[in-house]
A = this chain, B = another copy of it.
Amino acid sequence: MIPETLKWIGGVEGYLELIDQRLLPGEFKKLACRDTEQLWDAIKTLAVRGAPAIGVAAGYGVVLCLQQVDGDMARGLRAIAKGCDYLGSSRPTAVNLFWALDRVKRKAEDFAAANAKASLEQLQAAVLAEAEAICREDKAMCQAIGTHGERFIKEGNGVLTHCNAGALATAGQGTALSAMYEAKKNGKSFSVYADETRPLLQGSRLTAWELQQAGIEVTVICDSMVAVLMRQGKINLVITGADRIAANGDAANKIGTYGVSLLAKAHGIPFYVAAPSSTFDLDIASGDEIPIEQRRADEICSWGTRQTVPTDAGVYNPAFDVTPAENITAIITERGVIERPDTENVRRHLGK
């Protein structure tokens, strides 16, 4: 079964239940977030991760903001403003976090403005409805990407993916992995290779786990093993997610994706990117303008408790790299497929 990463339990006085991704794959445990502090912690410590999942969680976080409030709507709005500032500080680089908090906060403000005499309870209901809308839209987006993407997976294929663009990163069934889940629903049999994805191992820890839960055959490899598998003819296509896509189709994604795209090209293997259309940033003309975040050296310097890099040696740890559009066979969004992505084809797809 495809795991359900997050779920709101109950009504306006309910709570958010998350799969605690810090414990996977060794332990499967649900985590209940009953106040904003617990949710802040969950986001901060990566119990929940993946841009869409963080956004949905944050939306429900606004519901939690109101549970401690007594009084009228004005008090409620103040609690929401304060709570959103607080939740936003849990992961300040997560764009979806702010997007979701702002959307639900604005909804609350609009509701209050339009319904001056409404009660706090009615405000709560409006806020929960908006959080649920975000969650519903995310699930529909995942489903649509899968429906559009599954056609690229053929009977007997070997499919390679990098990092985790799966159910665990969304409220629904993921983006890149959604295509696999749909292919399976359609009765195709195929096998997936999951890059372990250094340094944080989202591929071996998360992707392999969720595919296994869904009954899809999966083999974990080190990132350095992609090329030899391709040469052996074991990989027929690559599908990855994307964190940000420029107007010309250049796609930023987890470090290592660009290398995989070059190896695919060298072996004549199609390379697909699956991501919601909201991933496009049309203010950015090409991937050269996407800034590459550097992460902490200590992610690479130890192995459990053991030091693996000499003290004071240099370490380079970029979080992302950019795959140029020319290496991408097609980009799959919830709206359909952009074949041979370039500025013109992207614009046409987005209807702009």
Residues in A lying within 8 Å of B, measured CB to CB: 24-26, 193, 195-199, 201, 204-205, 208-209, 212, 217-229, 231, 255-256, 258-259, 262-263, 265-266, 292, 300-301, 303-318, 321-322
Contact = CB atoms under 8 A, between A and B. Distances in A.
A204 B313 CA distance: 9
Given A198-B222, A208-B313, A231-B258, 9 more contacts: A201-B303, A205-B308, A212-B313, A217-B314, A218-B313, A220-B315, A222-B255, A222-B300, A231-B321
21 contacts: A25-B310, A196-B308, A196-B309, A204-B301, A208-B310, A209-B313, A217-B314, A220-B300, A220-B313, A220-B315, A221-B317, A222-B317, A223-B224, A225-B317, A227-B321, A228-B259, A231-B258, A231-B321, A263-B263, A266-B266, A305-B305
Q: Which 7 A-B pairs have the closest CB atoms?
A: A304-B304, A224-B256, A227-B259, A219-B314, A25-B310, A26-B307, A198-B222
A219 B201 CA distance: 21
Contacts of A308: 25, 196, 201, 204-205
A308 B220 CA distance: 10
Contacts of A301: 204, 220
A263 B301 CA distance: 25
Contacts of A265: 266
Contacts of A304: 303-306
Interface class of chain A by DSSP: mixed
Nearest to A211: B313
Contact of A315 (B219, B258, B311): B219
A125 B317 CA distance: 53
Contacts of A266: 262, 265-266
A225 to B, nearest CB: 6
Contacts of A300: 196, 204, 220-222
B26 A224 contact: no
A253 B170 CA distance: 40
Contacts of A226: 259
Nearest to A25: B310
